[in-house]
Amino acid sequence: MKSSWWIAVAGIMAAVLGIVGAMLVFMSDRVAPVITVEDTDIVYVKGDKDDVLLQGVTATDKKDGDVTDSIIVEGVVISKNGKQAKICYVAKDKSNNISRAYRIVDYSVDGAGVDKGENESAGASTGNTEGTEKETSGVADNQQIPTQSQTQGDDGVTAGVRPVLTLKVGEATVKVGQTFNVVSYVSNITDDKDDKNMLYTRIIADGSCDTSKAGDYTLTVYCSDSDMNYSDKHTLLVHVVQ
């Protein structure tokens, strides 16, 4: 009898701990901030500070509010024709949820024909004094060619092997109020250079899924590697139901 009593108590405690754990997971912040990139005319000159590239870029988080101060320039990819640069921005909230956004700007190696004074004065108010030394060769646009396994630059020259991302499903159903994490629907990511753990932190989901409202939400899921080569894009249709 005494043994049975202890077993019953242990079972109750395990159930309580399971419920508490589930509540903590449900209540945790899993929503990444939203980065907004204004349509601002910027000319990036080789060696410019990050504050020039951060002009017109803001970030807001559903829980933390304005998280613009967290934005960093993660990478700069120069197009093969040397006339444009693709900028990758990263924002993070207090729960370490990460989001990325991109924009293409004009690029100049020596600043010829560029009003440097205007560029520097416009970006000086951000307070970011770190130089941008993240330039790599690669592709400056985000067009995906599913039949090819490599990214191509503007002149058709191969820039690098693209990562391969696969989804578990193309359609999913979640209940209103349920936590949604797009990463859980990715079955695998591989790359010739980067390991899987790093690639999972670079998953991108274009679109949004508001689990507080019933409806159908379409997300475009893909990822980038450290050289900013992009995987094929996959569509994930999410049904949020009562």
Residues 6+ apart with CB under 8 A from 6: none
pLDDT of residue 30: 74
Looking at residues 7-26, what average pLDDT do you find?
61
pLDDT of residue 153: 45
Cβ(191)–Cβ(155) below 8 Å: no
Q: Which domains does the chain have, with CATH numbers?
A: 34-137 (2.60.40.10), 161-241 (2.60.40.10)
Q: What is the spatial distance between Cα 37 and Cα 229, in angstroms, rounded to a whole number?
A: 21
Please write the tens of the pLDDT for every residue from 29-72. 678 899 998 887 888 888 888 888 999 999 999 889 999 999 98
* 3-class DSSP string for 193-206: CCCHHHHHCCEEEE
Please write the tens of the pLDDT for every residue from 165-187. 999 999 999 999 898 888 899 99
